[in-house]
Amino acid sequence: MKLNILMDNHTEIDVYYLGEPAVSYWIETEGKAFLFDAGYSDAFLKNAADMGIDVTRAEAVLLSHSHNDHTGGLNPLQELDFQKKPQLIAHPDALLPHEWNGMEIGSPVSAEELSEKFELFLTKEPVWLTKKLVWLGEIPHTLDFEPAYAIGTVEKDGEKQADYITDDTALAYVGEKGLSIITGCSHAGICNIIAYAKKLTGVEKVQSVLGGFHLFHVDERTKATISYLKEENIQELYPCHCTSFAVRAALHGECPVQEVAVGTELEWK
């Protein structure tokens, strides 16, 4: 599997791509191509073009969750002429209205609008995209130190309710050396995600983890997360996006943290 980071908060010196506080990944595996998340604007499309990547080849657009730093680019994306009508795979809650402090923070494009360009596949269940790559679906909270938490509200069943971000999900790739896990923000908890990916695939060894961990302070939750990751003995950790420098520094003190930025290309067999 080959993965290109089309968008992240971080850029590299002398590598001239656009950056924004958002996420988008391009994935190619087993003869298929996928777009995972769509950034905050059209900047990820400009980066893809500069990298020589034709996103209109995508078999499917995969969403990690609803927030607009992952769905904001759906508007310019739907204006493209795809080679064939792609699926858009997401949790049923991912395209509902989401608010925080009076601001819309969900997808700027409705499910009805997106259905004109994409074949919508809204599900809580895992979806095997290829023999080796799976979109995990709704993540169960099985670890005490990673309980669910609410950010703003979601409009569901005709009323606004606390948004526990149940739509948050990730990908897992079954490689020769173990699992590679790719996440957007890990609102479900990066360790909950790892535990579920292992259970779902039946693979115990985790080779690599890439994505945002949504950790900003070195508090008790972060310390427990670091202990869990250290115990897993993961050789390739790529914390990015919503992972603060303080957390990455603390993590690097216990585990091998790798550099990651817009334009980073990773390959797993």
Binning pLDDT at 50, 70 and 90, where does residue 257 land? very high
Q: Is the pLDDT of residue 158 over 90?
A: no
Query: What mean pLDDT, rounded, does the chain reach?
Result: 96
10 Å CB burial of residue 25 (0-12, 13-18, 19+) is: buried
Q: According to the model, what pLDDT value does residue 240 have?
A: 96
How much of the chain exceeds pLDDT 90, in percent? 97
Q: Which residues contact 93 (CB under 8 A, 6 or more apart)?
A: 66, 154, 156, 166, 167
Structure letter (DSSP) for residue 130: S
What single letter denotes the amino acid at residue 100? Answer: W
How many other C-beta atoms lie within 10 A of the C-beta of residue 82? 17
Tokens, residue 26: 């391009």
Q: Is the pLDDT of residue 164 over 90?
A: yes
For the segment 31-90, what is each residue's pLDDT rounded down to a tens digit? 999 999 999 999 999 999 999 999 999 999 999 999 999 999 999 999 999 999 999 999
In this structure, the chain runs to a length of 269
What value does the mean pLDDT take over residues 88-106? Answer: 96
Q: According to the model, what pLDDT value does residue 247 have?
A: 97
Asked whether the beta carbons of 224 and 196 are under 8 A apart, the reply is: no
Handedness of CA 135, 32, 89, 268 (dihedral sign): positive
Q: Where are the beta strands (DSSP E) in 63-137?
A: 87-90, 98-100, 103-104, 119-122, 127-128, 133-135
Q: Is the pLDDT of residue 169 over 90?
A: yes
For the segment 186-239, what is each residue's pLDDT rounded down to a tens digit? 999 999 999 999 999 999 999 999 999 999 999 999 999 999 999 999 999 999
Q: According to the model, what pLDDT value does residue 157 have?
A: 87
Q: Which residue has the tokens 């074949």?
A: 119
180: helix, strand or coil: strand
Structure letter (DSSP) for residue 208: E
Instruction: Tell me the whole-structure pTM to 2 decimals.
Output: 0.96
